[in-house]
A and B are shown apart, each in its own frame.
Chain A
Amino acid sequence: MAKPIVIVVSPVAENPPAILPNPVDPQELAEDIHACAEQGASMVHLHVRDDCGQPTADPSIFSATLDLIRQQDDIVIQSTTCGPSTWGEEDHCACLHDPRVEVVQLNMGSTNIGELVYINTRPDLRYWAERIMQANVRTELEISDVSMVANVRTLAQEGLLPQPLFYGFTLGYPGIMPATSTAVWTLRKWIAPDTLWGLSEYPMRDLSLVSFALSSGATFVRIGYENSYSVIPGRPYMRNADMVAHLAQFIRIMGLEVATPEQARNILCISQAN
């Protein structure tokens, strides 16, 4: 049987140009995600924004969005502890308050990302990892440089990371590893063989690095407005669902399968959605 690949859609852009039909309002967002799910996305990396379009830790907006998504779709819900450094520790854990969140991304170290500084000290990581474990949510280890793989080892030795581990390689911003095949290869060599991993590339211009990742063993790929506005050279803007469809078609051309939400839960060892 062909290996199923999990397509993770990241539908919300960070600083979108006005021309982009960027879904922010919960209703628009749920409809956009539904269109992506129909094209093959089995997981959604969800950020929510307030009325002004700013990132918010307000659990009521998050839960309202999930209510709307669940009316139509069984898609796996992923959130993140990552947020502006101005947020307090509890704000970073806001994503754990809704029991429908199934996967949480944990950024495994401090680094510059572009002009910004992201701080995730070892005590921060321990605190968030424990909270994620208590909430019985699956952790995606977000890795953007080699030292972060070493941090994973430390936390795993302390018993703070449930097995099997699964890694998300985030590449391409200034300050972190570049979005190149060499970087993917390097990280892949640093993690234990047979460990699950996937790719989130910034900015994602086409499918060349994704195809390298898939052919060297990636299990999931992230695509959507948070990563880029198009994945076909020459086309400045695409809809989220069209990008997902383009990737799904490519996965099938490679002879692989596109995972359903249920397959995604099995592959990534995610306990059944609430």
Chain B
Amino acid sequence: MIEPVIVCVAPIERRAPQRPPLLFDPVEVAEDVYSCMLAGASMVHLHVCNREGWQVGETDVYSETLDEISARGDVIIHASTGDRSFQVPREERCPALNEPRTEVAVLNMGTFNVMDSKFICSLSDIRYFAQCIQQAGVYPELRCSDIGMMCTADLIAAEGLLPEKRFYSLSVGMPGSMPASPDGLWSLLRYVPKGHLWGLAQQHVLDLNLATFAVSIGATCIRVGMETCYGMLEQSPWLNNVDVVDAVVRMIHGMGREVATPEQARNILGIG
């Protein structure tokens, strides 16, 4: 049987300096996420933020957001661990792991340029975060935006730092990363070992061409939402999270495939 596809929503637009924050209040976030869940999302990607949207070490607002979400329904909680990479030591960079309801956490697999800036994650950082995620009993999503990172996953897997079934997030489309094109995705896919899972986390999403390509060649998970429209919201054909989740779900159904429930998604990932 062909497995259903997990739709993950990353609902919160990152703070661009010229824009006011859109959505940070726990109740507002939960309402928005709930609409996406009704539309077919089974996973939500969140950052640990305060009420103003700034990334912080304290998890009170994050926990309150999870309270509000779980009061409305079941969804897999998927957290970022790459936040505040320049501001705080690495020991303080994964607050989401202190919240026991976090089920999946992003594990960044290397250093790369992000537009005119950079994101630093040395091999030693990767090992450290992998251990933290392991100790917290959380499932890592291996964030790879280039082929070297795919090979780094093999390296740390050999050191026993990754689960038996790996879940890659192919993060394409940010300037400095692998281009968001079928060729880019194809190049990365050559390095996903047989029997492991992968999903698409495209940045600057303006249409569903690459998501369609990804599902058609076996993606387990597609991430969409306002976070992936960074700097391009004006050109986005979707005005909000529900619209884009709905569009992806229609695309998946149109192909004759099913969209995973949270329970099916946990089974596919082998968690919970």
| Interface 0/1 of B126-169, CB less than 8 Å to A | 00000000000000000001111101100100000000000000
> How large, as a class, is the contact surface on chain B?
20 to 34
Residue on B nearest A116 in the bound complex, by CB? B122
Contact present for B151 and A177 (CB under 8 Å): yes
How many Å lie between the Cα of A122 and that of B112 in the bound state? Answer: 11
Q: Are A110 and B118 in touch, CB under 8 angstroms? A: yes
- B124 interface hit (Cβ, 8 Å): yes
Q: Would A147 and B145 count as touching, CB distance under 8 A?
A: yes
Interface residue B98 (Cβ < 8 Å from any Cβ of A): no
Complex Cα spacing A110 to B108, Å: 14
Contacts of A193 in B (CB 8 A): none
Give the residue of B111, B116, B152, B184 whose beta carbon is less than 8 angstroms from that of A122: B116
Find B152's partner among A117, A119, A174, A183 (CB 8 Å cutoff).
Answer: A174
Q: Give every chain A residue within 8 A of B145 (Cβ-Cβ).
A: 147
Chain B residue contacts of A182, Cβ below 8 A: 190
Q: Does B123 touch A at the CB level, under 8 Å?
A: yes
> Which residue from chain B places its CB closest to the CB of A122 in the assembled complex?
B116
SS of A interface (majority): mixed
B70 at the interface (CB under 8 A from A): no
B192 touches A (CB below 8 Å): no
Query: B115 at interface (Cβ–Cβ under 8 A)?
Result: yes
Option from B110, B113, B123, B178 in Cβ contact (under 8 Å) with A115:
B123
CB < 8 Å: which of A146, A174, A178 contacts B178?
A146
Expressed in whole angstroms, the Cα–Cα distance for A114 and B123 within the complex equals 7
Complex contact B147–A154 (CB within 8 A): no
A146-B187, A175-B123, A178-B151 known; A112 and B110 CB under 8 Å?
A: yes
Tell me whether A177 and B147 are in contact (CB under 8 A): yes
On whether A174 and B123 interact (CB within 8 A), knowing A121-B118, A147-B113, A151-B113, the answer reads yes
Q: How far is the CA of A151 from the CA of B179 in the complex (A)?
A: 10
**Which residue from chain B places its CB closest to the CB of A125 in the assembled complex?**
B113
Any A CB within 8 A of the CB of B87? no
Chain A residue at smallest Cβ distance from B126: A112
Contacts of A178 in B (CB 8 A): 147, 151
B231 within 8 A of A: no
Residues of A within 8 A of B155 (CB): 174
Once the chains are docked, how many angstroms separate the CA of A175 from the CA of B151? Answer: 7
- A186: Cβ under 8 A from any B Cβ: yes
A154 CA to B175 CA in the complex, in Å? Answer: 9
Residues of B within 8 A of A115 (CB): 122-124
A176 CB–B CB distance under 8 Å: yes
Query: CB of B177 within 8 A of chain A?
Result: yes
- Interchain CB contact under 8 A, B115 and A117: no
Output the least CB separation between B157 and chain A (Å): 13
CB–CB B146/A146 < 8 A: yes
Residue B21 is within 8 A (CB to CB) of chain A in the complex = no
Measured in the bound complex, the distance between the Cα atoms of B134 and A10 in whole Å is 42
Given contacts A146-B178, A147-B177, contact A109 B112 (CB under 8 A): yes
Q: Could you jot down 10 A-B contacts, CB within 8 Å?
A: A109-B112, A115-B123, A116-B122, A117-B120, A119-B118, A121-B113, A147-B179, A177-B147, A178-B147, A186-B147
The 3 A-B pairs at the shortest CB distance, nearest first, are namely A176-B148, A145-B146, A147-B146
